[in-house]
Structure 1
Amino acid sequence: MEPITSIKEELNEKSGFHIWWRLLRPHTLTASVVPVFVGTMFALTTHQINVWLFLAMLLASILIQSATNMFNEYYDFARGLDNEKSVGIGGTIVRDGISPTTVKRMAFTFFAIAILLGVYICIESSWWIALIGLICMLFGYLYTGGPLPIAYTPFGELFSGFFMGTVIIGISYYIQTSVITSSVIWLSIPIAIFIGGIMMSNNIRDLDGDKENGRKTVAILLGRKNAVRFLGIMFIAAYFLTGLYILSDVLPVWSVIAFLSVIKASDVIRKFRGKTKPLEMMPAMAATGKTNTLYGLLLGISLLVSNFF
């Protein structure tokens, strides 16, 4: 067996604060930041926004995403799926020796803080947000917890894209405007696709290990080469919808700058091609998160700029 120290060196894992930072899986947090930013900037095109509500929603979203990652760390370890050689995890339990119970308690603590923030958001907007928020947290838990984890099925990309993309954008928009329009739902779809793409990239990287452990992800059902092609199709669909929304005035013409992220999206596919080992695919996984970040940042900026021109 390869020594743990060797694996940590290959992954450039450090001790101290970095242990807890890795536990959050920061490369995935773009899936919680981008929807709140885009939803709020879209609200700004027609309404004045409450900055404190925006910040509370942003922090709550990050906490829920971080807790979901912690549950992933805990339950994959508890089911024997992760070991000291696993790539793509925080490694907090299997390589750093942190108690699994500590990780699970931290996840519930993050959920508790998110609930407190949710109470403030509800007081300032609507108590219906409480129900939707609790449903989001439930599915965050069920993503890897429960008797049949969503992450082990072909629906991981769909659920993550819908809840982290469409639902979070919808909430972020609603708490600022008190309405939900068809435009904000349409707007959320490309973001949902990119977030689903992050999950798809993760599953492409982990395909061999997931297959051995009985998972039935889309990547496993399609095979690695076809899964990479499907990821490319997802990107194309997101950019096609963006162009369509610009032409139909759902998005301002300034949103054409979001197409600059195509460079990073094509980089994802290039970095996946011909790779079969998890470590070799880490750059592609990181590039997928950066694609979502760049697209969402540029889209949000375009919505902000449209207010002044």
Structure 2
Amino acid sequence: MARSKNATHRPGRSGNPAKAAAPTNTRRRATARDWIGGARLRTLTLGVVPVVLGTAVGFVDSGISGDFGAYLAQDGHLAVALLALAVALFLQIGVNYSNDYSDGVRGTDEFRVGPARLTGAGLAKPRTVLTVALTFFGLAAVAGIAIVVLTQLWWLLLVGAAAIVAAWFYTGGKKPYGYNALGEVFVFVFFGLVAVLGTQYTQIQQVTTSGWAAAVAAGFFACAVLMVNNIRDIDEDRLAGKRTLAVVLGSGVARTLYGVFLMLPYVALLWFVLLYFRTGFTYFSLLLALPALLIGVTSKKPRELITALQLSSFASLVYGVVLGITLAVQP
């Protein structure tokens, strides 16, 4: 299929809101439901799971005697965990609105077959979507600063700044790395390693082998969710000049890699099962992951791939919650 003139021109646009004209196809204004949809709630598990796992491994490796409730009550662990959750969720929502804005002003969403985006569909002015994205980035920064004040770990300011900068340049700026097959690297590092190990470190001031195992599991779940989302959009992204990893690899290899991403957390789970027998109950989340794998590898219809994305996201949530609970109730 030949690429249109607009498709070849728009990926080179700057993300500068001053240069982003409002779309001309506006038919109605965004409703509350549109804005909630823009937050992409089904992806928020990517923010919840790392904090749950980071807190759980912090508890089992803390050396603090007593139950999980006693652990949370000591040294401000509960406050730090809640603030870490706020950072993760605000950052995830900010990324989602930022992607909506950046893809919209570049024209990438012109070829979408999925749910309409605020900017690309002309439901909201680009500057408004950008303002909302920056607001959530700001809220994440405020929660992060509160963690730094409570823990006195001032070097974490650099980590937080790096996370926000990376979130923006995923699809923003002149050369977004999300358009050059590096999106999975971003989510693995920041929604896996940084989120889990950061949560653990702010609570017990150390990083452990269990922390690394949990971080790897959360990171691969995040990669799986992103990959199946991009598999759905391969043809549209190729037309728009957006070179995601799925576009670069092609549908067949991308689907195989999606399956690998989705199953690797269960390999990491073996570490916990060897140490804590009850954590084996986490394998019940395969009841969601295996159907997601089957759909993601075999389906050709975008709507079915959305189902695979939802099942992958729910599988990660069940995995994180069950593993967190079974770690928290260890004798």
- Structure 2 length as normaliser, TM-score? 0.82
> What is the alpha-carbon root mean square deviation over aligned residues?
1.9
Q: Distance in 2 between matches of 1:95 and 1:220?
A: 23
Give 1:273 shift. Answer: 4.3
Note the 1:43-62 alignment, pairs <5 A.
43-45=58-60, 46=62, 47=64, 48-49=71-72, 50-62=77-89
The residue matched to 1:147 in structure 2 has which SS?
A: coil
AA matched with 2:327: L
The residue aligned with 1:32 is 47
Q: Distance in 2 between matches of 1:297 and 1:96?
A: 38
Q: What do residues 98-121 of structure 1 show as CA deviations (whole Å, max 9, x unaligned)?
A: 111011011111111221111210
- Following superposition, the deviation at residue 87 of structure 1 comes to 4.1
1:292 to 312, 316, 319: 316
Q: Percent identity?
A: 29
Name which of 94, 104, 113 aligns with 1:77.
104
CA 124–142 in structure 1, closer or farther in 2 if over 3 Å, else same: same
Which residue among 105, 123, 128 is the counterpart of 1:97? 123
Please list the CA deviations of residues 95-144 of structure 1 after superposition, one character each: whole Å capped at 9, or x if unmatched.
Answer: 46211101101111111122111121001111121111111111011111
Q: Which residue does the alignment assign to 1:115?
A: 141
- CA shift, 1:169, in A, is 0.6
- Whether contact under 8 Å (2:105, 2:119) holds in the other structure is no
> Does structure 1 conserve the Cα–Cα contact (< 8 Å) formed by 2:34 and 2:118?
yes
Pick one of 91, 94, 103 that aligns with 1:64.
Answer: 91
Aligned equivalents of 2:267, 2:198: Cα separation in 1: 25
Distance (whole Å) between structure 1 residues aligned to residue 146 and residue 268 of structure 2 = 35
Shift of 1:245: 4.1
The one-letter code matched in structure 1 to 2:278 is W
Q: 1:203 aligns with which of 207, 221, 230?
A: 230
Q: Which residue of 1 aligns with 2:282?
A: 258
Q: Residues of 2 paired with 1:173 and 1:52: CA distance? A: 13
Indicate if the aligned counterparts of 2:30 and 2:118 stay in contact, CA closer than 8 A: no
- Distance, in Å, in 2 between the alignment partners of 1:236 and 1:61 is 23
Contact 2:50 2:196 in 1 (8 A): yes
Q: Structure 2: which amino acid aligns with 1:97?
A: L
2:178 aligned with 1:151? yes
Greater CA drift, 147-156 or 103-112: 147-156
Give the aligned partner of residue 3 of structure 2: none
What is the SS of the residue equivalent to 1:82?
Answer: helix
Distance 1:144 1:266, change over 3 A: same
Contact 1:165 1:188 in 2 (8 A): yes
Instruction: Tell me which structure has the larger Cα radius of gyration.
Output: 2
Secondary structure (helix, strand or coil) at the match of 2:292 reads helix
Q: Scaled by the length of structure 1, what TM-score is found?
A: 0.88
2-structure distance, mates of 1:294, 1:232: 18
Structure 2 runs not aligned, ≥5 long: 1-28, 65-70
Deviation at 1:275, TM superposition (A): 2.8
Q: Which moved more, 1:101-110 or 1:262-271?
A: 262-271
* CA distance in 1 between partners of 2:38 and 2:113 (Å): 13
Specify whether residues 55 and 207 from structure 1 end up closer, same or farther in structure 2 by C-alpha distance, changes over 3 A only. Answer: same
Does structure 2 conserve the Cα–Cα contact (< 8 Å) formed by 1:25 and 1:89?
no
Stretches of structure 1 that go unaligned for 5 or more consecutive residues are 1-13
Equivalent in the alignment of 1:23: 38
Q: How does 1:93-242 map onto structure 2 within 5 Å?
A: 93-95=119-121, 97-125=123-151, 126-242=153-269
Partners in 2 of 1:43 and 1:281 — Cα distance?
Answer: 35
Which amino acid is 1:20 matched to?
W
| One-letter amino acid matched to 2:214 | L
Amino acid at match of 2:99: N
- The number of aligned residues is 290
Contact 1:32-1:164 within 8 A present in 2 as well = yes
The answer to whether the 8 A contact 1:268-1:284 is kept is yes
Answer yes or no: is the 8 Å Cα contact 1:197–1:288 preserved in 2: yes
